[in-house]
A = this chain, B = another copy of it.
Amino acid sequence: MTRDLKQDLQEITSGFADGKIFLIFETNTWNLCWPLIRDFRLVPDTNILVLKPGEENKTIEQVMEVWNVLGSASADRSSLVINIGGGMLTDLGAFAAGTLKRGLACINIPTTLLAMVDASAGGKSGVNFRGLKNEIGVIRQPLHVFLYLPFLRTLDRENLLSGYAEMLKAGLIADRHLWEELKVFDLNGYDEEELERLIWRSIEIKTAVVEEDPEEHGIRKSLNFGHTIGHALESESMHVGHPLAHGYAVAYGMVKEALLSHHKLGLPMAAVDDIRKAITLLYGEPPATLSQSDILLEWMKFDKKNRNNRINFSLIDAIGSCRVDIEASIEEIKEALK
């Protein structure tokens, strides 16, 4: 956690020559976050890229623009790329940096709660392709990830809640105590110190899992709890032009996958109800799409986690305990989506 981003950044960037550091924003973080760090005077204005925001611009075409600008500005293996934004920006920026000249160093500074919790560890990067989320990408550790709580002040409640879902997930798969704390935490007028502590605990969980299984052969898949159905819901909502925030999709996905966990692993119905109630309280009732099982199943078939055309889940057998590589049949999935 970074109390003094200016000092931390100055320390790490002092090893890089003048003109070799590049900042990448998108227009939102440029407008809202750049003013908070402008006085750091990290780089000349010519070394700042401002990209188009949003999932619809998380494209290989925008990556090519980054390659073009960085390449033309003589970025080389002694360069450093600093990505400042939400998950879309850090994913895209890290992929562009990670593939230019077979890999430049990069630092990610997530500016949303979701990006802090979800995208800050693990080294995943990527862009969308053929309408599929993160279809193209690499796994490559950034040099550093800095968290800077003041950036969260730029977020509205929907954005905060979107990130909060990943924290709830961390509790559900690995830490019952964290889940209990998050259930009662007051996100309206939150205490920044307290939120910082909870973010930190969520990141710890994710980092431990990632370090134990960097190549995602086993336990790391537990991070996908709620994501198989959640991603399908997110893709469909994007497809029909009413995009659902990632965290909302994952939250609703966790409710359905909790029910699937009951059927497949015997998760007690009391726990399923506990999860459903807590998530409904925070996120409201799910959209009607969530019960359109035929449509969602079509999306699930494209999931990167599938092997040999079977649909693969990470499910919980208790709150705070996850099991991976659980294959569910079409009928079982339909039952959970009812």
A-to-B contact residues, CB < 8 Å: 17, 20, 60, 64, 67-68, 71-72, 74, 76-78, 98-103, 124-126, 129-130, 132, 134-140, 301-302, 304-309
Contact = CB atoms under 8 A, between A and B. Distances in A.
Contact of A138 (B20, B102, B308): B102
A100 B302 CA distance: 13
Contacts of A99: 99, 136-138
A102 B139 contact: yes
A136 B100 contact: yes
8 contacts: A67-B129, A67-B136, A76-B306, A99-B136, A99-B137, A101-B136, A102-B124, A103-B138
Contacts of A125: 102
Contacts of A132: 71
A76 B138 contact: no
Count this chain's copies in the assembly: 2
A139 B103 contact: yes
Contacts of A304: 76-77, 101-102
A20 B306 CA distance: 12
B308 A17 contact: yes
A130 B78 contact: no
Given A99-B99, A138-B138, A130 B77 contact: no
Contact of A102 (B20, B137, B306): B137
Contact of A129 (B71, B77, B301, B307): B71
Contact of A68 (B17, B68, B130, B306): B130
Closest 3 A-B residue pairs measured CB to CB?
A78-B307, A102-B137, A101-B304
Contacts of A60: 60, 64
A103 B125 CA distance: 11
A299 B98 CA distance: 23
B98 A138 contact: yes
B101 A309 contact: no
A100 B127 CA distance: 10
Contacts of A20: 308
Contacts of A302: 74
A98 to B, nearest CB: 7
A113 B64 CA distance: 32
A99 B94 CA distance: 13
Contacts of A305: 77
A203 to B, nearest CB: 21
Most buried by B among A136, A305, A306: A136
Given A71-B129, A71-B130, A129-B67, A77 B135 contact: no
A18 B304 CA distance: 18
Contacts of A134: 102
Nearest to A16: B308
Contact of A78 (B77, B98, B126, B308): B308
A176 to B, nearest CB: 31
